[in-house]
Amino acid sequence: MENIDGLAYKKAKDKVTEIKGFYYNVICYCVAIPFLIFVNLKTLPEFHWFWFSACGWGTALIFHGLSAFGYIPFLNKDWEDRKLQELMQKNKYSGDDALK
């Protein structure tokens, strides 16, 4: 029973770390993009190149948030649990380290 509790704790801790990483990414975005806008408008106001950074990083930020909070349908919690069970069974029956 202790092993199951340890596994649940590790998964929960990993999830908290992933969510914390997402929040860190949001904070960096909110600081960096206004700075890039400022630099762009001061140096080359006729061409708004900051949109490339804002849209690219913003898109990545959306996917990071979806992943961190479990909203990606093809890699959801059910898939993760099935894959974990599959790897554990493979390791149990093969006798070697199938998790590598």
pTM of the model: 0.69
Measured distance CA(26)–CA(68) in Å, rounded: 12
Considering the domain architecture, whether residues 57 and 80 belong to the same structural domain is answered as no
Measured distance CA(72)–CA(57) in Å, rounded: 18
Considering the domain architecture, whether residues 83 and 98 belong to the same structural domain is answered as yes
Domain that holds residue 93: 72-100
Considering the domain architecture, whether residues 54 and 20 belong to the same structural domain is answered as yes
pLDDT at 99 exceeding the cut of 60: no
40 neighbors 50 (Cβ within 8 angstroms): yes
User: Over the stretch 39-70, which tens digit does the pLDDT of each residue have?
Assistant: 999 999 999 999 999 999 999 999 999 988 88
Q: What b/e readout covers 86-99, taking b as 16+ CB neighbours within 10 angstroms?
A: eeeeeeeeeeeeee
Considering the domain architecture, whether residues 65 and 82 belong to the same structural domain is answered as no
How many structural domains are present in the chain? 2
